[in-house]
Structure 1
Amino acid sequence: MFNEFGKIIKLTTFGESHGTAIGGIVDGFPAGLPVDLEAVQKELDRRKPGQSKIVTQRKEDDKVEFFSGLLEGKTTGQSIGFLIPNTNQKSKDYEHNVQVFRPSHADFTYTQKYGIRDHRGGGRTSARETANWVVGGALCKQLIPEIKIQAYVSSIGEIQLNKHYTELDLSQVESNIVRCPEAPTAEKMIDLVSRIKKEGDTIGGTVTCVVQNMPIGLGEPIFDKLSARLAQAMMGINAAKGFEIGSGFDGTRCRGSEHNDIFIEGGKTLTNHSGGIQGGISNGMDVVFKVAFKPVATIMKEQSTINERGEASTIHGRGRHDPCVVPRAVPIVEALTAMVLADFTLLNKLRKI
């Protein structure tokens, strides 16, 4: 139950970071949809580890294998099953923390809740799980091809991309390893992450997501607002610590006369402080939101902690870890956005039957 995401299109996932494989089942997909498997793999390649000098050097090809729900390149309407083998685990890197809790990880809470935890990379708590979400999102992107979803890195540490997305060439997101669409800012970000990595430390940042060609009417009143479902999805990402949509927290400094989006002919608005959602329902304007990510918890420095008996201890990070999770979070943000939008799109179609 708690390994499932979505209501009409449902993704159920399984697997651990250092297990044999991770994978999932996608239910609710309509039959007869052509599926571009290369496009799915391309999305996984954007998320996979070892892709540049500023991410974890764990070498995983992340080659997805589909074993049900597809026939001759089309969906059958049945459950779509897939598997992503783990091929480069180094469980010995985690032998040092069998008896102690890593600060700001889920070690302590999992032990208290379940009485047991997988110390090898965190098991189900590992961000390796997000590869499953990227598969689900890549399929959903093909269900709603008319909707354009583009995320990008808008800050790392104190380095901010202080431009509105309409001033940027979002086609340049993949032109550099940090996934920032402005080259000068991207270089500063890369230098900062490289320096932080050499220091054995980590750093956080933000990802901005822009959704264009949005239809009017996605989202439900009260408990299933589009904004609420997006927030739930984004806050489920490992290391996510904040979500804001439209004007977000900056809007709290405005007056209503400044913040209201004034309608013009055709149903458009002069401004988009609402972020494309009003009353929990898309209004046809671009949906724009931002997700904040904390610094990765594992650092290559000694820290104070406690052991499983509650006694004072120390721990020193080892193994292969991201100095900054933000660049690899970009395809994850897009994937979950696609799953939410595809879910609401099918709901609207069911209403018309």
Structure 2
Amino acid sequence: MAHEHDTQAVEKARTPSRGLAVAASDPVQNPGLPPHRERITDKDPKAQQRAVRTVYTLFYISVAASIWAVAAYMLFPIEGEYATMTNIRHNNLYIGLGIAFALLAIGIGAIHWSKALMHDHEVIENRHSTRGSEPTRAAAVKVFEAANDESGFGRRKMIRNSLFAALAASVIPGITLFRNLAPNDGKDPVQLLNETMWKEGERLVLDPEGTPVKASDVTLGSAFHIVPESLSTLSHEDGYLEEKAKAIVLLVRVLPEQLIESEERKTWSYDGIVAYSKVCTHVGCPVALYEQQTHHLLCPCHQSQFDVTDHAKVIFGPAARPLPQLPIAVDDEGYLVAQRGFTEPVGPSFWERH
């Protein structure tokens, strides 16, 4: 009896119940769309007008913020005698706030417009094949006309005009800032980049400590960030940042037998120590990542890679030419010094070079 009972239980478990079989065969019912809930702006004309005023006010706030960004650029100049740390901080802060509020106001205004004023009825769009026929094009025109009617873009002139004004004003700060991307004193950019503070006998010092570096301090696999010793004599008003940006160097030591040096450059290194410009030849980012095992320098901005052992030539990425090399030697006290300055312009390669 026990065996017969167990067999019946197994058979019952293997046989799906009638209820499950029916449920599996029934098609899934379309629940339909939920009831439409009208917004307060759909029911109350005054609320709708308040929403309209809010949207175009936000767009005009964006215009004002863009104008403020341009005004901040003029109120806090950072050129020549005005290139103080205070002016630089204020310039960055207030221009940034102006641009941020300009874009934020456009975004909030557009979202509020879509949520409070644009058509919000649920619709169902059936799939259909699309072809470039006349009826299809005519239907596309109708879609745009319907979108215009539902959004009120053509009807709500205050919103439309304020949006156009905000979008137009939002690019003005960027255009204003572009004027400072190139020298405006009439000097040749190539010549400016070719003239750094490196000269014969200039000691290599650590950045930012300003400590002179001896050849014995540079161990295998190490990488030091280097500036000219005379840089410390400059103030920010005298162009400290500009000169540092051009003269900064990365100092690396490898085994002397690992260096691949042309006849011209065999005297540019010292016992496996080489010095290359830290300014990437792509767009000027700092090349500051050194891979000890592969002897590659990596630019973090766009992943250009340079081979330290082979004249810092480009082995990957968008950089157009090798990093300029600084010829170095050792003075009577064992400190590393420059033999002379760079023999080519440092920095990006998109400027015309002789």
Same fold judged by TM-score > 0.5?
Answer: no
Higher relative strand content: 1
Calculate the TM-score normalised by the size of structure 2: 0.19
Query: Which protein is bigger by CA-based radius of gyration?
Result: 2
Higher relative helix content: 2
